């Protein structure tokens, strides 16, 4: 190990920065964020660096570097384009036993800057010991995706109770196990959700040995299929869930992102074939939470857009069971983007409307007269079985027979297929190509852009 990772407390510490260019400005941001009392020595500095010094009470000496600038400094950073100047800063600093960093010159450093993931007061540092800064930045980016911004709030929350827990649990092992349970369980999720009072109550109850039902339900939008479209929060909750309930619109790749030992329960429904009745799903969520389990209910697309999400959490609300709703990329947005069909466009459509392809009782009943604007894109969910009625009614109420139509089958998945035609021809195309659910229907002039903007999957069976 070439460098020992340490954390320096720089609050009000006198620090010298030699240089005023773009690289020096980046270092100044970090030093000022850490609370340093910063002095900059350079003939010229960037406008951003000048603003940073003004905002944070720093000092700029508009001159060339001299050894006397090191007097009284605890730390120095050299970031000039002049190799000889940087070497002089290093030699002078070493002679005065001042810690020094020369940017991009590891051999002239007594300390180095790591790549930082900042979730203040939680900070993660990654370094390649100066060998490959780009690799360190790549690792930082990957870790950024794993650490929600709310982890800083969780660290502050835990800090408030550190002494209480230490007094109650003097043994190191017991204290460690307690904190692991608190910081990986529902207490942490309450903090992430901004429910600090509930989190405090749960933590203090656990500390006193009071066992309460601490289950919670997370209604999570799984997106249209591509697992890369899952939100950071959705991925995190999948990793902490005890039970995952999922339906047929959730791709297997998304289900596989759940914790390996989590119980998986299929509650899929398809037309006229419900694996589990809706009221039973609602009750199952309640029962599992009452057992103290963390339950993720995965919904295809977004849970509040034709996902019956509202129905599923109504019972939870009545029973007083805590829950969270995590939005997802809805099928309309995801499938349209992957098909190269903008839902709005200045030249074609100034609004978009999401419409249920069929309602209760499998009927296709709408105010068809309100769906006639050529400047509005229509997106029908679950409309494959009612496609003929949709096309007939739109034409009967005023939409032109040559209005472009697209069907997107398995949108965003590797099996995605796009069929295009018109209100007059699309039914025949579907009878020939036989697409299967899930299939999304888009009606409007924006469909014309598919031929030019399509970038993913395949187009088949379209009019030529």
Is 80 annotated in some ligand binding site? no
- 247 assigned to active site: yes
Pairing of strands 269-270, 263-266: unpaired
Is 170 annotated in some ligand binding site? no
Pairing of strands 376-381, 439-443: antiparallel
Is 43 annotated in some ligand binding site? yes
Is 224 annotated in some ligand binding site? yes
The HSE-up count of residue 226 (CA atoms within 13 Å, CB side) is: 18
Sequence-distant (6+) residues with CB within 8 A of 361 are: none
Give the torsion through C-alpha atoms of 235, 238, 239, 242, to 10 deg. 170
* Cis omega (within 30 of 0) for bond into 309: no
Cβ–Cβ < 8 Å for 90, 108: yes
Catalytic residue chosen out of the listed positions 168, 181, 233, 269: 269
Cα 442 to Cα 463: distance, rounded to the nearest angstrom: 15
* Cis omega (within 30 of 0) for bond into 225: no
Catalytic residue chosen out of the listed positions 73, 247, 293, 299: 247
Task: Quote the DSSP letter at residue 400.
Answer: -
Q: Which two tokens stand for residue 279?
A: 């009221």
Cα 407 to Cα 437: distance, rounded to the nearest angstrom: 10
Cα 175 to Cα 206: distance, rounded to the nearest angstrom: 12
Is 242 annotated in some ligand binding site? no
The HSE-up count of residue 204 (CA atoms within 13 Å, CB side) is: 10
Cα 424 to Cα 387: distance, rounded to the nearest angstrom: 11
Q: In the sheet where 59-61 sits, what is the strand order?
A: 59-61, 37-41, 14-18, 75-78, 99-102
Look up tokens 């980046």; give the residue.
Answer: 26
Is 382 annotated in some ligand binding site? yes
The HSE-up count of residue 179 (CA atoms within 13 Å, CB side) is: 20
Cα 461 to Cα 433: distance, rounded to the nearest angstrom: 6
Closest by Cα among 408, 387, 276 to 337: 408
Is 267 annotated in some ligand binding site? no
Is 411 annotated in some ligand binding site? yes
Is 1 annotated in some ligand binding site? no
Is 22 annotated in some ligand binding site? yes
Is 331 annotated in some ligand binding site? yes
Q: Which helix (H) or strand (E) holds 276?
A: none
**Phi, psi values for residue 404, rounded to 5°:** -65, 145
Residues of each annotated binding site for S-adenosyl-L-methionine: 224, 300-302, 305, 330-331, 382, 411
Residues of each annotated binding site for NAD(+): 22-23, 43-44
Residues of each annotated binding site: 22-23, 43-44, 224, 300-302, 305, 330-331, 382, 411
Q: Which residues are catalytic?
A: 247, 269
């Amino acid at each position: 190990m070439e460098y020992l990772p340490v954390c320096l407390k720089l609050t009000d510490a006198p620090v010298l920065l030699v240089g005023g260019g773009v690289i020096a400005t980046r270092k100044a941001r970090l030093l000022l964020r850490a609370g340093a009392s910063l002095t900059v020595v350079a003939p010229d500095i960037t406008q951003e660096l000048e603003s940073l010094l003004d905002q944070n009470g720093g000092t700029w000496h508009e001159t060339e570097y001299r050894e006397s600038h090191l007097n009284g400094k605890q730390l120095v950073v050299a970031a000039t384009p002049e190799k000889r100047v940087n070497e002089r800063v290093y030699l002078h600093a070493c002679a005065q036993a001042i810690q020094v960093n020369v940017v991009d010159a590891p051999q002239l450093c007594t300390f180095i800057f790591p790549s930082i993931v900042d979730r203040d007061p939680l900070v993660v540092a990654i370094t390649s010991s100066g060998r490959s800064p780009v690799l360190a930045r790549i690792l930082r980016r990957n870790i950024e995706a794993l650490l929600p911004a709310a982890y800083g709030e969780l660290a502050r929350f835990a800090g408030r109770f550190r002494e209480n827990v230490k007094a109650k649990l003097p043994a190191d092992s017991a204290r460690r196990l307690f904190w692991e349970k608190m910081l990986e369980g529902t207490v942490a999720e309450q903090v992430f959700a901004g429910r600090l009072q509930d989190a405090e109550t749960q933590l203090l109850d656990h500390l006193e040995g009071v066992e309460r039902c601490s289950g919670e339900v997370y209604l999570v939008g799984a997106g249209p299929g591509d697992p890369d479209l899952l939100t950071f929060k959705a991925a995190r909750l999948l990793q902490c869930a005890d039970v995952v309930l999922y339906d047929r619109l959730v791709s297997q790749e998304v289900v596989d992102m759940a914790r390996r030992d989590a119980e998986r329960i299929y509650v899929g429904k398809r037309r006229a074939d419900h694996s589990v009745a809706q009221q039973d799903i609602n009750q199952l969520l309640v029962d599992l939470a009452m057992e103290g389990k963390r339950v993720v209910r995965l919904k295809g697309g977004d849970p509040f857009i034709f996902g019956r999400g509202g129905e599923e959490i109504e019972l939870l609300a009545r029973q007083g069971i805590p829950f969270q709703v995590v939005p997802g990329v809805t099928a309309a947005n995801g499938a349209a983007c992957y098909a190269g069909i903008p839902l709005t466009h200045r030249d074609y459509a100034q609004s978009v409307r999401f419409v249920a392809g069929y309602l209760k009782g499998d009927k296709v009943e709408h105010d068809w007269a309100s769906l006639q604007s050529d400047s509005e894109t229509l997106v029908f969910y679950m409309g494959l079985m009612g496609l003929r009625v949709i096309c007939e009614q739109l034409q009967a109420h005023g939409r032109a027979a040559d209005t472009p139509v697209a069907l997107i089958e398995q949108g965003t998945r590797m099996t995605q297929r796009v069929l295009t035609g018109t209100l007059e021809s699309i039914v025949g195309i579907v009878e020939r190509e036989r697409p299967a659910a899930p299939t999304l229907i888009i009606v409007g002039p924006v469909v014309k852009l598919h031929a030019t903007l399509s970038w993913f999957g395949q187009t088949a069976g379209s009019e030529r």
